[in-house]
Chains A and B, each alone.
Chain A
Amino acid sequence: QSALTQPASVSGSPGQSITISCTGSTNDVGGFNYVSWYQQHPGRAPKLILYDVSNRPSGISDRFSGSKSGNTASLTISGLQAEDEADYFCGSYTRIFTLDVVFGGGTRLTVL
């Protein structure tokens, strides 16, 4: 069982918007603005798409956006494209001294 909770799957049609949630606690998501999101295509390494809740690394499309409310962070992908079909993981700094970073279980995005 992962420390952060994500839906197992979401889907959307090309051009639509989807949102993936990532729920933690006050010890991680809710306590710090250190949430990150990673995109992982099958057989590939994860790729950072958002950090510090809503910041995009250079080269990441502005179709990817992030937000946070309380203990839940969200990734929104607008204008869905076929290439967005992938697994998405959230991560967060945690002050629980068993781990420095915790991840969500991952969400499989299907573009219909």
Chain B
Amino acid sequence: QVTLKESGPVLVKPTETLTLTCTVSGFSLSNPRMGVSWIRQPPGKALEWLTHIFPNDEKSYSTSLRSRLTISGDTSNSQVVLTMTNMDPVDTATYYCARIPAGAPVRHFDHWARGTLVTDSS
């Protein structure tokens, strides 16, 4: 059974760095066709793709957020980590990690974590 689960803070102050961890099970992050993406959704708004990573360390970032995002993978611990620097109240959103099942180009996401609502704590 494929599962993904995020962990990390739910409150972040402006200018702080957000670090979220996605722990996966039921598949291997070493599988060359399996990638993991981070996607966020502000309350009541649309989904926004942020970044993804594949086992060959191929990474891609949303251009508008590229300077603030870093994605990294830890295959041995089945984890993918997202960091977002200089957090702002507009970054309040539910952050999801999701599996990419069919390699690049990224066509769809077949399993999603439950999501972590990250809120500005100012």
Q: Are A51 and B107 in contact (CB under 8 A)?
A: yes
Partner pick for B107 among A36, A57, A98, CB 8 A cutoff: A36
Residue A100 interfacial (CB < 8 Å): yes
- Given A100-B49, A103-B46: A45 in contact with B96 (beta carbons within 8 A): yes
Residue B48 interfacial (CB < 8 Å): yes
The complex places the Cα of A44 from the Cα of B64 at a distance, in Å, of: 27
- Given A45-B96, A45-B114, A46-B96: A93 in contact with B49 (beta carbons within 8 A): no
Q: Are B112 and A91 in contact (CB under 8 A)?
A: no
Q: Are B49 and A102 in contact (CB under 8 A)?
A: yes
Q: Are A98 and B108 in contact (CB under 8 A)?
A: no
14 contacts across the A-B interface (CB closer than 8 A): A36-B109, A38-B109, A46-B112, A48-B110, A51-B108, A91-B47, A91-B109, A93-B105, A98-B62, A99-B63, A100-B105, A101-B37, A102-B49, A105-B45
Q: Are A48 and B48 in contact (CB under 8 A)?
A: no
Annotate B89-117 by CB proximity to A: 1 below 8 A, 0 otherwise. Answer: 00000001010000001111111111100
Query: Which DSSP category, helix, strand, loop or mixed, fits chain B's interface?
Result: loop
Q: Chain B residues near A101 (CB, 8 Å)?
A: 37, 49, 106
Partner pick for A99 among B45, B46, B49, CB 8 A cutoff: B49
- Tally of chain A residues near chain B (CB < 8 A): 25
Q: Are A97 and B63 in contact (CB under 8 A)?
A: yes
Interface hits, A93-112 → B, CB 8 Å: 93, 97-106
Residue B60 interfacial (CB < 8 Å): yes
Q: Are B114 and A103 in contact (CB under 8 A)?
A: no
Q: Chain A residues near B114 (CB, 8 Å)?
A: 44-45
Q: Are A105 and B52 in contact (CB under 8 A)?
A: no
Q: Are B47 and A46 in contact (CB under 8 A)?
A: yes
